Structure 1
Amino acid sequence: MTQIIRSLADLSDRYDALFCDLWGCLHNGVTPFPAAVAALQAFRAGGGKVILVTNAPRPKSSIIRQLDSMGLPRDTWDDIASSGDATQAAMLSGAAGSQVHHIGAPKDESFFTDFEDDLAEMAANSTITRVPLDQATGIICTGLADDLTETPDDYRGKLLMAKAKGLKMLCANPDIIVDMGEKRLYCAGALAQLYEQMGGEALYYGKPHPPIYDLARKRLGLDEARILCVGDGINTDVQGGVGEGLDTLFVTGGLAAQEFGPDIDNPDNDLLLNWLAGHQLSATYAIGYLR
């Protein structure tokens, strides 16, 4: 049964490391949450390690620049594993063939230019080129070209063409939606979901799928670590942690905040348990906001 806790400090001595989500947990796409920042700083000060595990479709270097621009202190985390990193590895291994078509925004261009040290040699020797859809052997989807105005329905024609060509889609962000401030936006996962509904094939590399957890463990660098997965996504953070055999801390005040009663800071226990049962998932712990 899921246990509701008041603060991360209640659990700190039980875990060596956190795999911590970003959007909805540590920031809202615009600014960091001060209580979450303080909680992670305290966990690290006590000897724990924090790996930020994000479904952002961009590489680690781009995530760092984004977090720095928000003013997130560097002492909040030890390393980062992104869905973008894991998808880059798949692309460089040929999962989408040698001629790829990109569906995504200009802000995601770093996916094709910035590679971490563990991928740099593969990138330097790669023969992969970006091409129009009619010449493609596969698709790299990092999101919508303009997520402020577009919806997945705007891509039906393009996706039907890709499906007719039998192209695989490499989805660099399995999230369906995300909240930026007060606005709800569609992510790459929404396009991949629509593509599968049309009969196309989509491959996923972020949470809840194994590749990003393999990368996070590699960057953690600890053998036999006691790991707690933290996040607000029931079908990403919680499902992924459960699938990896790891304990989970569900942040109820994120995407599903309205499901657990009027006091978002203190989720109603009965509403929470019924909601989790409806999703056929059970987090180890739950908390209103990370603090």
Structure 2
Amino acid sequence: MAKCSSGFPSSSSLPASTPDNLKPFQTLNGIQQLAESRQFKGWLLDQFGVLHDGRKPYPGAISTLEKLANYGAKMVIISNSSRRASTTLEKLKSLGFDPSLFVGAITSGELTHQNLQRSDDAWFAALGKSCIHMTWKDRGAICLEGLGLQVVENVEEAEFILAHGTEALGLSSGGAAPMKLEDLETVLKECAAKSIPMIVANPDFVTVEARDLRVMPGTLAAKYEKLGGEVKWMGKPDKIIYIAAAQMAGIDASHCVAVGDSLHHDIKGANAAGISSAFVTGGIHATELGLHTFGEVADDSSVHALALRYDAYPSYVLPSFNW
């Protein structure tokens, strides 16, 4: 899109053949103009695919956060990670990010833990305490301490499924047995036949890790729904996590912008919450957009087509989270 004199790209001109429901976006090279405009007081930032790839920060991400903070922006990490919020901030620190730059973090794992612990929600209160636990192996199993749950290995004894990961099945001993994805799906079939509900503590289907895509618990949840199972999705694209993040920042949602690399989760969720959004094209959709190198700019028409496919419409589009 052509740039206006203000420095912001034009989004008013679309091809004559553009469908009526195609919503325009502004293409940016970085967030500098957006930060300088001070239009948004709250920045709700995804982490994987935006700030880092799970192993190292993306080029310019750390300095961009520091510059954004200088403009008084209140930043909250909003992530579909199945880990607790404190673990997420510790991970960011280990990668070289300054945790003090953030107001805090809200993760789907944190929301799941809080709801299981409080049980003040009628749906959670009716679950019971015995669960099949799908967790991680290489990343380390998720700790269920303080929740009063009993992990069972026999589906016949289970009252619900708790999906934190896609690599292992939790054991009653507290350990985890590595398991292939197809074997976990076999367990899901047994659970579906018993009509027991599932909580998915990470709704992502895939995530970016060192430029590769890794299967996440949302894939298991989608499979379970196809089998006829009931799923409680915790996190994006449910608007509750965006509202919680805005409240954490102490800012009205209308003054917030959500930044993420997933149209289905980050952008669609922001749409549902009525929050402006910035779509980072170099994350999980890079291959779909024909991008091969970091910072490569996506073709506007390709982004429009992908937005229509996912029925998720960003306010802004940028190649990476940079200044």
Q: State the TM-score bracket (shorter-chain normalisation).
A: 0.7 to 0.9
CA separation of 1:111/1:84 partners in 2, compared to 1, >3 Å: closer, same or farther?
farther
- Would the aligned equivalents of 1:57 and 1:108 in 2 still touch at CA under 8 Å? no
Aligned pairs, how many? Answer: 279
Shift of 1:203: 0.8
Aligned equivalents of 2:302, 2:319: Cα separation in 1: 13
Shift of 1:150: 6.2
Greater helix proportion: 1
Aligned equivalents of 2:133, 2:210: Cα separation in 1: 27
* Residue 208 in structure 1 maps to residue 217 in structure 2: no
For residues 163-201 of structure 1, give each alpha carbon's deviation from its aligned partner in whole angstroms, at most 9, with x where no partner exists: 122111000000011121133211100111111111111
TM-score, reference length from structure 2: 0.80
Shift of 1:229: 0.5
Q: Show the counterpart of 1:247.
A: 276
Aligned equivalents of 2:132, 2:224: Cα separation in 1: 15
Q: Which one-letter code corresponds to 1:201 in the other structure?
A: E
Greater Rg by CA: 2
CA separation of 1:208/1:217 partners in 2, compared to 1, >3 Å: closer, same or farther?
same
Structure 1 residue matching 2:287: 3-state secondary structure:
helix
Q: CA RMSD in A?
A: 2.2
Aligned equivalents of 2:109, 2:100: Cα separation in 1: 23
* Residue 80 in structure 1 maps to residue 105 in structure 2: yes
CA separation of 1:204/1:224 partners in 2, compared to 1, >3 Å: closer, same or farther?
closer
Aligned equivalents of 2:276, 2:47: Cα separation in 1: 18
Shift of 1:100: 2.1
Gaps (5+ residues) in structure 2?
Answer: 1-23, 170-177
Runs of 4+ in 1 over 4 A off after TM superposition: 106-111, 261-264
The structure 1 residue matched to 2:57, chosen from 21, 32, 37, is: 32
Shift of 1:108: 5.5
* Residue 164 in structure 1 maps to residue 189 in structure 2: no
Matches within 5 A, 1:262-281: 262=291, 264-281=295-312
- Would the aligned equivalents of 2:279 and 2:317 in 1 still touch at CA under 8 Å? yes
Q: Which one-letter code corresponds to 2:86 in the other structure?
A: S
- Would the aligned equivalents of 1:247 and 1:284 in 2 still touch at CA under 8 Å? yes
The structure 2 residue matched to 1:152, chosen from 178, 181, 185, is: 181
For residues 87-127 of structure 1, give each alpha carbon's deviation from its aligned partner in whole angstroms, at most 9, with x where no partner exists: 112323135322222111254545413xxxxxxxxx5xx64
Percent of aligned positions that are identical: 25
TM-score, reference length from structure 1: 0.88
CA separation of 1:221/1:110 partners in 2, compared to 1, >3 Å: closer, same or farther?
farther
CA separation of 1:286/1:150 partners in 2, compared to 1, >3 Å: closer, same or farther?
farther
Gaps (5+ residues) in structure 1?
Answer: 114-122
The structure 2 residue matched to 1:53, chosen from 78, 92, 109, is: 78
Structure 2 residue matching 1:259: 3-state secondary structure:
coil
